[in-house]
Amino acid sequence: MSSHDGRAKITLTTLQRYKERGEKFASVAVYDASFAEIASAAGIEVLLVGDSLGMVVQGHDSTLPVTMEDVVYHLGMAARGNRGALLMGDMPFMSYYSEGLTLENAGRLMRAGAHIIKLEGGRWIAESTHLLVERGIPVCAHMGLTPQSINRFGGFRVQGRDPAQAQNMIDEAAMLEQAGASILLLECVPVALAQTITERLAIPVIGIGAGPHTDGQIMVMHDLLGITPPSFKPPKFVKNFLLDSTTGIRGAFEAYAGAVHGGSFPGPEHSYT
C-alpha cells in the first residue's frame, strides 16, 4: 500500500526493520492537517498527536488539562493531512486508569485515525498494554520524564541518573516489551541509560532528550520550528531547524529528518549524562 504522494506507508513492521538494519527514524508531534501533511511529505516517519498540545497550543503550564475530546479533535485533523506516516495518538491524563476506560478511550483514538496509541508509565501500564494489544490496539509505552506525572517529579527533571532508578527503568522497559508494547519512548534520560535500554529491547525505541543511540528521535513541532514564546526557556534537547533551512518550514522538517537519519542530531550539546 502506498501513501497519497507515492511513498510507501510507514507501519510498525517498517520501524521494526529500521531497528534491525540499524537505520534511524524521525518523529514529530503535530496537531493539525497542514503540519501533518508537510511533516509526513518531508519524510518524517512517525507523527504523534501528543498531549503536549495542552502546552504549545492551548497555553496551559502542563499537559494535565488535556481531554480525550481535545486529542480526538486534533488527531482527526492530523489524520486528514497525513501522507503515509505512522500516526500515534496520545492517551491524556486519567484516560486509562481502569480497564473499561482504557479500552473505550484507546478505541476512540483508533477510530479517529491513530495507528498506535501512547501511554505514559512503567510497570503499572503493563496490564493495560497487554489488554490493548490482545484486542488489536498497538501500544507505545512512554517512560522517563513522563509529563503527566510532573507533580510527582516536582518539575521537568532528567530521570534515571540514580543507579537504582536506572535499573528500575531497564526492568520496566523489558516488562513493557514483554507485555506487548510495539514501541518504547524515552524522555529526558541520560545517554548511557537510553543506549542500554535500546540495545536490550528488540522493539524500536524513540528518544527525546535521550541522546543519539535510540532508534528514533521525536520533537515537538514548535521546538523544531523555533516557535518559542518569550516566557519559555527551551530545554537542552531542543534544536531550531528552521535556522538551517533555506526553504522555509518544509525545509526545516526535511533538515530535522535528514539530521536524524544521518545521525548528526542529537549531538552532545542536546543530551544529558
Where along the sequence are the contacts to ligand KIV (CB under 6 A)? 29, 48, 50-52, 90, 142, 185, 187, 208, 218, 220
The answer to whether the beta carbons of residues 173 and 123 sit under 8 Å apart is no
Beta bridge partner(s), residue 86: 46
Q: Grid coordinates standing for 129?
A: 498494554
* Measured distance CA(90)–CA(56) in Å, rounded: 15
Q: Grid coordinates standing for 132?
A: 490493548
32-41 burial, b if ≥16 CB within 10 A, otherwise e? Answer: bbebbbbbbb
Choice between 15 and 220, CB closer to ligand KIV: 220
Q: Tell me how far, at minimum, the Cβ of 28 lies from ligand KIV, in Å.
A: 9
Choice between 90 and 172, CB closer to ligand KIV: 90
Start-to-end CA distance of the chain, whole Å, equals 42
Q: Tell me how far, at minimum, the Cβ of 118 lies from ligand KIV, in Å.
A: 7
Beta bridge partner(s), residue 28: 47, 219
Q: Grid coordinates standing for 35?
A: 503540519
The catalytic position among 187, 199, 254, 269 is 187
Nearest position to ligand KIV, beta carbon: 50
Choice between 20 and 67, CB closer to ligand KIV: 67
The question of whether 134 is a catalytic residue gets the answer no
The answer to whether the beta carbons of residues 207 and 196 sit under 8 Å apart is no
Residues 6+ positions from 233 with CB-CB distance below 8 Å: none
Q: Tell me how far, at minimum, the Cβ of 228 lies from ligand KIV, in Å.
A: 15
The helix (run of H) or strand (run of E) holding residue 178 is: helix 163-179
Q: Tell me how far, at minimum, the Cβ of 206 lies from ligand KIV, in Å.
A: 8
Choice between 50 and 113, CB closer to ligand KIV: 50
Choice between 190 and 216, CB closer to ligand KIV: 216
Q: Tell me how far, at minimum, the Cβ of 189 lies from ligand KIV, in Å.
A: 12
Residues 6+ positions from 63 with CB-CB distance below 8 Å: 51, 52, 54, 55, 92, 93, 147, 148, 150
* Measured distance CA(114)–CA(89) in Å, rounded: 5
Residues involved in catalysis: 187
